[in-house]
Amino acid sequence: MDNAAHDPAIALQGIEYAYPDGTRALVGINLSIAPGERVALLGPNGAGKSTLILHINGIVRASVGTAAIQGTQLTDATVRDIRSRVGLVFQDPDDQLFMTTVYDDVAFGAQNMGLDRDEVDRRVHEALHAVGLADTASRPGQHLSFGQKKRIALATVLAMSPEVLVLDEPTSNLDPRAKRKMVSLLESLDSTLVVATHDMELAWTLCERAVVIDGGRVVADGPAKKIMTDEDLLDTHGLELPPSVRASRDLR
């Protein structure tokens, strides 16, 4: 019997990781995320957020502990399958856009999954429509605005139809209009979402759960509305109240 529907979308147990110079980046990380959850991963610079999300699809492998996606443990034998289930969108879109045209960039992952040409074409067009940039298919990605590049980078992952979507600072360096478009797009998705971000308003708007990491450890985990209104907790770990929360308190 297939128990995948009953397994956590992401299960990290006892994850430990150190950089080559011996610096401990992650220390005893335990994290279970249910299918369909939207989780904000919060913490100061250097807390370990980016290192942690790289463990979710096996770009970085723990020295101690286990990672599993939908009940499948991450190993050398399963890493290719897991990467087809977990879409990772990097902070810098230029890390994901390297082909001659936007179409080729978005098609790249689907083609590597071994899909036929018609299916790849269908997925590319659906992904580009989803991010509102269907008219850019024949253009070089390097000629787009930064906000457009961010959305195309997301489209490259959506074309692979991942069950889990992991995003590193999806709204960083976006102007207000581009940010609104990105938030609206993310709200429309029904994948399991893990969002590593310094954008507290994004986390407040998008996610029902917040996990705070500091010094490579999980220091708080709970409902976003509770975690993100605890000013003492946030201040202790280099974070601030979401602007809308602070504004509402200032009006009292």
In this predicted structure, the answer to whether residue 1 has a pLDDT above a threshold of 50 is no
Provide the pairing of β-strand 217-223 with 164-168. Answer: unpaired
- pLDDT tens per residue, range 184-234: 999 999 899 999 999 999 999 999 999 999 999 999 999 999 999 999 999
Helix axes 146-158, 102-112, angle to 10 degrees: 20
- pLDDT tens per residue, range 64-91: 999 999 999 999 999 999 998 999 999 9
Residue 33 is part of which domain span?
4-250
What is the total residue count of the chain?
A: 252
CA 106 vs CA 193, 194, 215, 219, 223: distances in Å = 20, 21, 36, 37, 34
Q: Do 118 and 126 touch, CB atoms closer than 8 A?
A: no
- pLDDT tens per residue, range 114-134: 899 999 999 999 999 999 999
Q: Phi/psi of residue 27, each to 5°?
A: -135, 105
- Residue 50's CATH number: 3.40.50.300
pTM of the entire predicted model: 0.92
Q: Phi/psi of residue 138, each to 5°?
A: -90, 0
Tokens representing 203? Answer: 């986390």
Instruction: Count structural domains, the chain.
Output: 1
- Say if residue 191 is exposed, middle or buried (CB neighbours under 10 Å; 0-12, 13-18, 19+): buried
- pLDDT tens per residue, range 10-67: 999 999 999 888 889 999 999 999 999 999 999 999 899 999 999 999 999 998 999 9
